[in-house]
Amino acid sequence: MDDKQLIKMVRRLKAIKPRNEWVILAKKQVFNEEIEAHTLSIKGILPWFNFRWVLAPIICFSLFFGVFSLSQRSLPGDFLYPVKRVGEKIQSRFVSEAGKPNIQLELADKRIDELAKIAETNQVKKLGPALNELETTKVAVKEEVTKLVKNKPEKEAIAIAKGIAVKMEEVNKKESQVLATLGIEAKKKNEPAEKTVVELLIKDAERSSLNESQREHLEKAKEYFAGEEYDQALEEILVLSYPQS
């Protein structure tokens, strides 16, 4: 085959056009291969994304639980202390109205423990915040007690007072002891929760049959009450052990 014949054959090949059916089929095959390759790459990535989405709530919960656990050992003035107080407020929301005064007394007990810890470790800078936290909690005790006995029949209100009186006295004694180690006198409030409780218990005692010793304690309780020494009045009234009405 000479050069002229070869040139003629190449020109004929250039003139040949593929059928439309073949073109369409070829395009489909090419595009399908590209789509499949793209899909495989996405499928390879998706498990990682799914894994991360599954782990995200677990990681968040673990971090929250860790911070919350650390906050339980914090003291007033510490960075994590607000987290501790928020947790306590959330927990108190799940307590019935009748149980809220006791919950606030438990929190007051914790505030006293914090104050004692600060005194033991001589963390003077935290003393002010700790005292403020204690006072805030005592105000909350008063608010819960007042709210609970308000508009209640007297007999029911007295039963409520009896239910919290012992714990209230324990907290008061503990506070006095801790403050004494610091050389601080307990601040007197015009109308603390003790006033409401003692007033109800005095009324109940006056209607009860008392022996001579019990009457003496009752009179002392009345004197302390008149002098706005409600802690001492509560202590005297609890000594009575008068018959339950």
How confident is the prediction for the chain on average, in pLDDT? Answer: 78
Minimum mean pLDDT among 58-67, 88-97, 151-160: which range?
Answer: 58-67
pLDDT band at 150 (very low <50, low <70, confident <90, very high): confident
**Residue 136 belongs to domain spanning:** 72-239
Does some domain include residue 44? no
| Confidence at residue 83, expressed as pLDDT on a 0 to 100 scale | 87
Residue 244 amino acid letter: Q
Length of the chain: 245
Does some domain include residue 17? no
C-alpha to C-alpha distance for 17 and 94, rounded to whole angstroms? 82
User: Which residues neighbour 235 within 8 Å (Cβ) at sequence distance 6 or greater?
Assistant: 169, 172
- For the packed helices 154-182 and 127-149, what is the interaxial angle rounded to 10 degrees? 170
Does some domain include residue 118? yes
| Confidence at residue 192, expressed as pLDDT on a 0 to 100 scale | 85
Does some domain include residue 7? no
Whether 129 contacts 82, CB under 8 Å: no
| CB half-sphere exposure, 83, CA atoms < 13 A | 14
pLDDT in tens, 204-218: 999 888 888 889 999
Does some domain include residue 171? yes
Whether 215 contacts 193, CB under 8 Å: no
Residue 40 amino acid letter: L
Residue with tokens 């056009």: 17
Does some domain include residue 130? yes
Count of domains for the chain: 1
pLDDT at 72 over 50: yes
- CA nearest neighbour of 161 among 173, 150, 149: 149
Global pTM value? 0.70
| Confidence at residue 226, expressed as pLDDT on a 0 to 100 scale | 94
Does some domain include residue 28? no
Minimum mean pLDDT among 61-65, 152-156, 162-166, 193-197: which range?
Answer: 61-65
